[in-house]
Amino acid sequence: MEHISSDTAHALHGVAATRTLETAAASGLPAHCLMQRAGAASARLALALAPHARHIWIACGSGNNGGDGLEAAALLHQSGRNVSVTWLGQPGSAPADARAAWQRAVAAGVVFAPGPPADLGPRDLCIDALLGIGLSAACARPPGPALRALLDQLHTSAAALLAVDIPSGLDADTGQYAPGFAPDSPRPGPCHTLSLLTLKPGLFTAQGRDACGSIWFDDLGCGAQAPAPSALLGIDGRKPHAGTRGAARHASHKGSFGDVAVIGGEGLAARGMGMTGAAFLAAGAAVFGGAGRVMVALLDEGLTLAPPWPELMLRRIDALRLPDLTVVCGCGGGEAVRAVLPGVLAQAARLVLDADGLNAIAGDRALAAALRARASAGQATVLTPHPLEAARLLQTTTTQVQADRLAAAQALADRHLCTVVLKGSGSVIATPGKRTIINPTGNARLATAGTGDVLAGLMGARLAQGLAPHHAASDAVYTHGAAADRWPTHLALTASALATALQ
């Protein structure tokens, strides 16, 4: 059994691949063996998480996920723990494996009850074995009264919660709750999830990260049979890039680490909304992310602002040698960015397109065609939309984007022939012909103005340093989130402070 952290890359498999593996593994084992292994793994983790629990309450569904819970109940009872089970199934209609698990639980003397003990408290443990991966957010019915009551008790209990395979109601492929299954508020007690056979994408993106809490994994002895993954958790299977040049050659010079030009920062005169700070934040992140030289071309060239960091060099847009540069375009660009985009798309050797640059593409077919043409010209491109920007690019709604974040990111990548970073909880990185990546780092501290500009600038630094777009994107997203994860709890995270923390 392994505790999943952000330090190691992991293979992710969707429901279809997991079902295929489950069928293949069960065919080579004695009857009920795989369920017994799942129950044993659940019992071991329950004892490790709550070794002094006064009571362990297990809510079991009528299917095989409930069977896993019943197997765990028998083992926990045999180990001397005070266990009770609420089972929604019936022996006559239960699947064969689950019926056998019920028989073992009854034989072991497990207590069956209609609900949790009245005095279940913070020292105790609840186990969610109601539904597992047998539910899709797209086609599930709202829970009936009996199931709803158990879900409410699991969601509101102060006891620790262990979900077997996946929290009930969460779609294992997308990380979205099915209608009617999401809790009304955060649990008062801690959450844990034990993923069985495979790690699923939905554990790590959208609502999955909050729902699952700490995640554990047990392949039930079947890891060698796992199919090729559908996605990866981490940085493209590699270590983070040494952006601060710790391993660089002594004979390096500033040109060895690439030149970044940030184009953005619409001035007050355009719409009464000054956004120069966004461009400077991106540029600062490029500096602290290890770029050799960083230039800033503000879209209001009448401004004579002093850069917040003296390392930044101001330039007129027409003075930039775009074919030699990595360009970060759109940060605080407003409507003014539209006028410079044709030249940037045609000439920039490497491009990170963010914010208003994305909005301009979404509303202009000619610009969209120019974006696609960059691939055939061998020019590297990364798009960094948040869900609303992604919805504009796909001509759909934010709800539809969030309903399947992996599919939305891949659709954008395939449509525009470039790398796409769909930002959000569990940011998704997609590139045509590459395996999708879900980023494991970051937290709610990043939900503040300017952190997206910092990410775009860091991504520009990684491209300038020679990383291919897919790896540059995944590395930058990982590093950006990891900085937030290390943030002191007593300090507010601001975008400018985050930029300087990248060094």
**pLDDT of 44-69, one tens digit each?**
999 999 999 999 999 999 999 999 99
DSSP codes joined into one string, 396-440:
S-HHHHHHTHHHHHHHHHHHHTSEEEE-STT-EEE-TTS-EEE--
**Distance of alpha carbon 450 from alpha carbon 453, whole angstroms:** 5
Q: 472 or 272: which carries more pLDDT confidence?
A: 472
Integer angstrom CA distances of residue 155 from 142, 176, 246: 16, 16, 47
Would you call 272 exposed, middle or buried from its count of C-beta atoms within 10 A (0-12, 13-18, 19+)? exposed
- Give the lowest-confidence range in 182-196, 223-237, 243-257, 384-398: 243-257
Q: Side-chain half-sphere of 425: how many Cα atoms within 13 Å? A: 20
Instruction: Provide the 10 A C-beta neighbour count for residue 488.
Output: 7
C-alpha 376 chain-centroid distance = 30
Mean pLDDT of the region 309-331: 94
Report the C-alpha gap between 280 and 328 in whole angstroms. Answer: 11
How deeply is 93 buried, as exposed, middle or buried, from its count of CB atoms within 10 A (0-12, 13-18, 19+)? Answer: exposed
Residue 434 has pLDDT above 50, yes or no: yes
Residue 241 has pLDDT above 80, yes or no: no
Supply the pLDDT for residue 49.
Answer: 97
Task: Please state the rounded mean pLDDT for residues 17-43.
Answer: 96
Average pLDDT over residues 463-475: 96
Neighbours of 310 (CB within 10 A): 7
Cα 183 to Cα 204: distance, rounded to the nearest angstrom:
18
Return the DSSP state at 319. G
Q: Which one has a higher pLDDT value, 235 or 193?
A: 193
Helix (H) or strand (E) holding 122, with range, is none
Note the pTM of the prediction, 2 decimals: 0.93
DSSP states of 15-68: HHHHHHHHHHHHHTS-TTHHHHHHHHHHHHHHHHH-TT-S-EEEEE-SSHHHHH
Q: Identify the DSSP state of 201.
A: G
- Please give the helix or strand (H or E) that residue 77 lies within, else none: helix 64-78
In angstroms, rounded to a whole number, what is the distance separating the alpha carbons of residues 451 and 51? 41
